[in-house]
Amino acid sequence: MKILNQHIKNKEFANMYLLYGPEDYLKKKYRDKLTDAIIGSKDTMNYSRFAGEKMNLREIIDIAQTLPFFSERRLIVLENSGLFKKPDEEMLRFLDTLPETTCFIFVEEEADKRGRMYKKIKDKGYPCEMGIQTEKALSEWALGIISGENKKITYDTMQLFLSYTGSSMENISRELEKLLCYTLHKDIIAQEDVRSICTAEITGKIFEMVDAMGRKDKKKLFAHYQDLMAVKEPPLKILFMMERQFNILLQVKDLLRKGHGKSLIAEKMKLPPFIAAKTMSQADNFAYENLQKALEELLGAEELIKTGRTSDRIAIEMFFSEYC
């Protein structure tokens, strides 16, 4: 992203950009920053945007060959085109002759680095991966926003906040806005503020439920469960998410038994470091055999539900009662 910022600052642009990866917030941010820098946000005459895999590529090529109207450049944004999974021969050939007055920004969820489209962008433009950010980067980013509002937050409170939001910058941004409004007349953001106003994602709630099971805190377990019921989360979805968390715990427990540390576990499990640390701590509350048994019971409960031998709500509540 450093190179993107240099291009924007120096107003020296490539003819084609690829913004790809799972972090939607960064993709949107740099799409908009590039758009504003290349043609200006108010230039609708020289701006075209297409989305989805069914876009008309012939139409796009025709537009790309048209000279800009009273401007140095014409900008075309293509989002989730699918071209980086299944390239189009005509588009590949056209990019070799792309006019200097036309700029493409491709925004994709995934891009095959071995594919011809990716290699074309790398050769003639600039590809930039927008990946999930580290705990340190997320903390510093959120802290910068909080400090900009002349407020303070402790390390522990920031950790609690991130455990509620997960690693999605889009979600962090939304929850930060709520938190800053809630603490409008306060200088220091406290943990009570986070708990009062921030909404835990379902993954965060599931994590807290499993945490309560590990500590044998049945009251807290059912309180979190009722929270999910209140927002109409389907019990079967909760069951699937519980399966996922116990499966992660089982794998983490196995890696811990082999003597692996936080960094390697985070890498192997593809978890942000701060989530890996919390998961390792959670795994300490369960014996390996108990994790195996719990996962087997969850899979058994899923089978009972799918075959109509019990309801989803009864199955999951019986599981809670047995293991907490």
CATH number for the domain harbouring residue 164: 1.10.8.60
Q: Are residues 110 and 159 in the same domain?
A: no
Which of 70, 102, 129 finishes a domain? 129
Look up residue 319 and give its amino acid: F
CATH assignment at residue 82: 3.40.50.300
Q: Which of 171, 197, 223 is the last residue of a domain?
A: 197
> What token pair was written down for 24?
């939607």
- DSSP assignment, residue 294? H
CA distance 219 to 210: 13
Domain count, the chain: 3
Residue 5: is it exposed, middle or buried by C-beta count within 10 angstroms (0-12/13-18/19+)? exposed
As a residue count, the chain comes to: 324
Report the phi/psi class of residue 52: left, alpha or beta, with left for phi > 0 and alpha for psi in -120 to 50.
Answer: left
Long-range contacts of 319-322 (CB under 8 A, 24+ apart): 319/239, 319/242, 319/294, 320/213, 320/218, 320/221, 320/222, 320/225, 322/297
Walking along the chain (324 residues) 10 residues at a time, the average pLDDT comes out as 94 96 95 95 91 93 95 96 94 96 96 95 96 90 97 92 87 94 96 88 86 92 89 88 94 94 88 83 94 94 91 92 82
- To 10 degrees, the CA torsion angle through 271, 276, 282, 286? 80
- Strands (DSSP E) contained in 36-118 are 47-51, 74-79, 102-108
**CATH code, 269:** 1.20.272.10
Task: Give yes or no: residues 229 and 308 share one domain.
Answer: yes
pLDDT at 271: 82
Same domain, 254 and 237: yes
Q: What is the largest CA-CA distance in the chain?
A: 72
CA atoms within 13 A on the CB side of 68: 19
Which pLDDT does position 203 carry in this prediction? 81
- If asked whether residues 254 and 270 sit together in one domain, one would say yes
**Same domain (yes/no): 278, 291:** yes
Q: What are the CB-based long-range contacts (under 8 Å, 24+) for 165-171?
A: 165/198, 165/201, 165/204, 166/201, 166/203, 166/204, 167/132, 167/133, 167/138, 167/272, 167/275, 168/23, 168/24, 168/25, 169/23, 169/24, 169/25, 169/26, 169/133, 169/138, 169/141, 170/24, 170/25, 171/201
Residues 165 and 221 in one domain: no
| Same structural domain, 161 and 244 | no
Q: List phi, psi (to 5°) of 225.
A: -65, -45
Q: Which domain holds residue 267?
A: 202-323
pLDDT of residue 214: 93
Judge if 20 and 108 occupy the same domain: yes
- The pLDDT of residue 297: 93
- Residue at which a domain ends, from 98, 129, 160: 129
Please give the structure tokens belonging to residue 269: 């499990």
**Degrees (nearest 5) of the Cα angle 70, 72, 76?**
100
